[in-house]
Structure 1
Amino acid sequence: MSSLSPSLREPFAITHATVVIGDANGTTLHDTTVIVGGDGRIERIAPSIATPIPDGYRMLDATGKTVTPGLINAHVHLFSEGRPLNPKMATPRGQRITATIMHSPVGKPYLKARAKASVMTLLRSGVTTIRTLGDVGYEAVELRDRIADGHMVGPRILAAGPLLAIPEGHGAPLIALTGETPEDMARNTRENLAHGVNAIKIAATGGVTDAQRLGEAGSPQMTVDQMRAICDVAHEAGVIVAAHAQSPEGVKRALLAGVDTIEHGSALDDAMIELFRHNPHSLRGWSALIPTMSAGLPMTELGQDVTGITDIQLANARTVVAGMLAGAEDAHDAGLRVGVGTDTAMTFVTQYNTWRELDLLVKRAGFTAAEALHAATLGDAEILGVAGETGSVEAGKAADLLVLDANPLLDLRALKQPALVIADGRPLWHPQVKRFDDIDALLDRAYDE
C-alpha cells in the first residue's frame, strides 16, 4: 500500500479488501473498495471489480487484508500506563498527596504529557474513539479540542473531567469533585459542563482499587436523589451519564436515577433488566452496560505477588468480579445493549489492549466474535450517541478504519496490531506502541487457560 500524509487529509481508496462492516451479524463484504474523500468521509463502498478509482485519489491495495471500523473504548483513564498501582496511593491520604502534586506547577505539565501519550497509544492500537471516565482535571477536554481543531491527529474524545463522588468516596479526591447534597451534585455537574465536558461520571458505589475495608467495593455511596440531580442537569445539556456501580443495589439505584451507562455492573434480576430496556429517566429511554472485565479479572486470576494488591482489595475484587461476569452474561442473554470499555490505567489494564475485552466477552460472557466486534464499534457508537459519525464502515460516516492482516471474526487477535489506523480520514502507517511484554505474557496465560 502506498503511503499518505499522516497529518493532512487527502482522498484515497482502499481496494480489494475484505470489509467487516461492524453489525452484530458479522456482515462481511469480499473484494471490496472503500472510497474516502478529502473531507475524511467514506464516499462509497462497492465491489472492487465494478468500482473505478476517481482521478486524484490515492489507491491503497488491501489484497489479503481486512478492513473494520476503528475500535471504541468507552471507559478509559489517561493518568497511567497500566502498570500495577501502588496501594498506598489509593488511600484517601495517598490520593490527597498525589492530587496536590498533580495540580502543582510541576505536576500539571507531566499530567498533560501523560494524557497525550495515553491517547496516542490508544489510537496506535486501533482505538479511534474514547470516552474518559475520571480525569484529574480537564486535560482530556483540552486534547479533544486540539484534535477536533486539526492541531493533532487523535481519536474522537468524549471527556468527562473529574468524576462526581461523596467526600472520600470512590475516586476522591484525586479524580473527583465531591459533595453531599443533591444541590452539591447538581452544582458539581454544572462546573464540569462549564469546563466543556461532553460526558459525566458518577461514583455510585465504592470501588476495588481504593477500598480500605472488606465490603466497601460495591457498597452504595450515593442515593437515588443525589444521582438524579446529576442526571437531570447533564441530560438537560444533552450529555450522557455513566455510573461506576459494582453491586445489585448500586446498579439498581443508578438506573432508577436515570444513568445512561452502568460501568462494571453486577448480576441482574428481572427488574434491573427491565430498567435497562426502558429507563424513563435516562437521556434516550434506555441504559447500557459496560462490563470492563479487563479491569477485574487480573486482580483475581493473577497472584498478589504479581498484582501488588492488598488482602482487602483481593477479597473485594473476588466479589465484584463474580458479579461483573454474571452481569455481562445476563445482559447478553437478555439482549441488552452491552458496550466495550476496559478501564485503562488500572492495574494491568494497559492503554493498548482494548482487543482483550472483546476476547473476554467471547470467552467469559457468551458473545460471538461478531457480537464482540459490534460491541466495540457500532454498539459503542450507539451507546455514546456518536453512531451518526462513526462505528461502522458506511457511506457518509467518518473514515475511522482499521486495516488488519487477518479477519478478526476468525481470530480476534488480528486486532492486536493493526497494519494501518485511519482516524477521521487521517492515516497512521505501521502504528507501533510501547508494550509491556511481562504483563502481556501473564494475561495470555491467565486468559488462555
Structure 2
Amino acid sequence: MCVEAVPPPSSSLTRRGILAGAAALAGTMAVAGAAPASAADGSPAAGPRPGGASGGDLVIEGGTLLDPATGEVTEDAVVVITDGVVRAAGRRGSVTVPQGVPVLDAHGRWLLPGLVDAHIHLSTAAEAADAVRKGATSTRSGSTSFYQDIAVRELARHSPALAPRVRAAGVFVTPNLGETLLADPDLTPLVRLKDGVRSAEALRRVVEVNLARGVDVVKTRVNERAGVPEQDPLAQVYSREQLAEIVAAARKGGKGVLCHSYSERGCHDAVTAGIRSLEHGAFVGERTLHEMRRRGTYFTPTLAAIAGMIDSPNPVLAERGRTYLPVLKRAVLAAHELGVPLAAGTDSSGGTVRPIGREVELMREAGLPALDAIRTATTGAARLLGLERTAGRLARGYAGDVVVLDRDPLADVTALKQPVRVVRAGTPV
C-alpha cells in the first residue's frame, strides 16, 4: 500500500470530532462543563476562557522564596498573583500588596515555582488533577492512545486549577499502533500495512496526522519497552534513517521530537537523527553524551519509572529495575558533569501518578547538587518545553503556579514529594 496515495489529513471538522471524542474518553468535558474551545479553523481558541477561568488573584506572604534560576533565597517573602500571573515577588516591604485580594499565610514554609514533569502520560481528568495536587503544574506528554492529552491540555486552558499546563504529543509514532488505529479515520488506512509503520511514507503520515490534530511535540521510539517483560528493551525498532524521517516531518510542522530509548546504539542513532530529547536512555554512552552536549539535546532519564520496577511482582521487571537504576544514575551524573541539559519526568501512566518530587530526589541520589536537581524540574524542564518565560520561576510575568513546602528543599529535596499546598494560576488547589 502506498500511504502517499491517501488524501492528506482531514479538515478541521474531522479534527473537532476526533478531539471531542478524546475529551469524552478523558472525562474532561464533564469536568469543565464544556467542550474544548476551537477557533473557526479548528485550532485551540486563544484569549480569555469561559467564566473568567484564566487565573485567580492571590497574595502569598511570609514564606521563604527560592528562585531556582539564581539560587537566591528570600526570607519573609511576598508573592502577588493577579489573573493567574505573578505581578511581584520579593521581601516584605519591597512589594506593594493590593487590597481586597485573598491571602495565603506561608509563615514557616518554603515557596517554589510549580514543578514541571517533562514526561508523563495523562489520559484522564482524574490523572491531571492528581498530577497538580502532587506539584506538577506544567507537563509534557509522553503520548496517549486516543489524543486524550490534547483534551487535558484544553481542560487546563479552560480551568487551570483542574489540570497542569500540557505540551501534548498525541499518538505514539511506533511500528505497531494497535488500537490507536481506531482513534482517527486518517490513521485507519495504515491497518493494511503488513510490516506496520516503518516505511518513510507511513512514518510521515503518522506525524502529519498528529500535526493536523494540534500536537505540540512528537513522540517516537528507537527501542522496545523495559516495562513489558516480553520485550527486549535493547532491541532496536527504528533505524537512524527512519528516525530522521520522523524528525524531518515534525520539523516541517515546527515541532520537536522526544524519543523512547535504552541501548547505546539506539540512543546514538536517535540523537544524530536530530531528536530534541532522549527519554529513559539507561545505557547511553559517553560518545552520545558528548554529541548531546554539542547539539543541546536534552536528557529525560525518568529515574522514578525505572526505580518503580524494582518492586514489581514480575521477576523480569524487578531484575531490570535493579540492574538499570544504578547504570542510569551513573549516566545522569555523567550527563550533568558534561553539561548535557537534564529534565525531570516521572513517566507516570495507567492511572498512577508519581510525584515529580520523587524524580528530583533520584536526581539528587545520582549525585547532582540539590539546587541542580531542583532545576531539572523547574528552569531546565521549562526550557525544554518552551516555557522558560512562563514556568520554572516565581518572578514578574511568570505563571502564578506555586508549591508550598514544609521544609528547606536545598537541605532535603524529599520535601518536594509532598507539597503542603499547591497553587495553580493563582488558585489554591
CA distance in 2, matches of 1:409, 1:220: 40
The 3 A distance-change label for structure 1 pair 10 and 135 is closer
Which of 95, 108, 111 in structure 2 is aligned with 1:51?
95
Counterpart amino acid of residue 351 in structure 1: V
2:120 is aligned with 1:76? yes
CA distance in 2, matches of 1:71, 1:264: 19
Equivalent residue number for residue 298 of structure 2: 288
1:60 deviates by 2.6
Q: Could you state the TM-score of these two structures normalised by the residue count of structure 1?
A: 0.76
The 3 A distance-change label for structure 1 pair 13 and 308 is same
Equivalent residue number for residue 158 of structure 1: 167
2:205 is aligned with 1:198? no
2:337 is aligned with 1:333? yes
Equivalent residue number for residue 28 of structure 2: none
Equivalent residue number for residue 437 of structure 1: none
Segments of 5+ residues of structure 1 without an aligned counterpart are: 80-114, 280-285, 429-449
Which of 55, 65, 81 in structure 2 is aligned with 1:36?
81
Whether the 8 Å CA contact 1:14–1:59 is kept in 2: the answer is yes
Whether the 8 Å CA contact 2:116–2:137 is kept in 1: the answer is yes
Which of 112, 125, 147 in structure 2 is aligned with 1:116?
125
2:275 is aligned with 1:271? no
Which of 139, 144, 155 in structure 1 is aligned with 2:153?
144
Which of 175, 178, 182 in structure 2 is aligned with 1:173?
178
Whether the 8 Å CA contact 2:140–2:167 is kept in 1: the answer is yes
CA distance in 2, matches of 1:206, 1:21: 39
1:157 deviates by 0.7
The 3 A distance-change label for structure 1 pair 419 and 317 is closer
2:367 is aligned with 1:366? yes
CA distance in 1, matches of 2:154, 2:266: 34
CA distance in 2, matches of 1:418, 1:266: 29
Segments of 5+ residues of structure 2 without an aligned counterpart are: 1-50, 182-186, 188-195
1:59 deviates by 2.9
1:314 deviates by 4.7
The 3 A distance-change label for structure 1 pair 230 and 403 is same
The 3 A distance-change label for structure 1 pair 58 and 239 is same
CA distance in 2, matches of 1:157, 1:381: 11
The 3 A distance-change label for structure 1 pair 341 and 18 is same
Whether the 8 Å CA contact 1:22–1:393 is kept in 2: the answer is no
Counterpart amino acid of residue 264 in structure 1: H
2:303 is aligned with 1:258? no
CA distance in 1, matches of 2:160, 2:395: 26
Secondary structure, counterpart of 2:340 in structure 1? coil
The 3 A distance-change label for structure 1 pair 366 and 174 is farther
CA distance in 2, matches of 1:270, 1:8: 45
Whether the 8 Å CA contact 1:295–1:343 is kept in 2: the answer is yes
Whether the 8 Å CA contact 2:409–2:415 is kept in 1: the answer is yes
1:38-437 matches, cutoff 5 A: 39-78=83-122, 115-150=124-159, 153-167=162-176, 172-173=177-178, 179-212=197-230, 216-279=232-295, 286-300=296-310, 302=311, 307-311=312-316, 313-314=317-318, 316-317=320-321, 320-345=324-349, 350-363=352-365, 365-428=366-429
Whether the 8 Å CA contact 2:239–2:269 is kept in 1: the answer is yes
Counterpart amino acid of residue 150 in structure 2: V
Whether the 8 Å CA contact 1:292–1:342 is kept in 2: the answer is yes
CA distance in 1, matches of 2:353, 2:54: 25
Q: How many residues align?
A: 366
CA distance in 1, matches of 2:278, 2:142: 12
Structure 1, residues 63-84: CA drift from partner, whole Å, max 9, x if none? 11111011111111235xxxxx
Whether the 8 Å CA contact 2:68–2:378 is kept in 1: the answer is yes
The 3 A distance-change label for structure 1 pair 296 and 236 is same
Counterpart amino acid of residue 104 in structure 2: L
Whether the 8 Å CA contact 1:246–1:324 is kept in 2: the answer is no
Whether the 8 Å CA contact 1:66–1:406 is kept in 2: the answer is yes
Secondary structure, counterpart of 1:31 in structure 2? strand
The 3 A distance-change label for structure 1 pair 160 and 362 is same
Whether the 8 Å CA contact 1:165–1:202 is kept in 2: the answer is yes
Secondary structure, counterpart of 1:165 in structure 2? coil
Secondary structure, counterpart of 1:129 in structure 2? strand
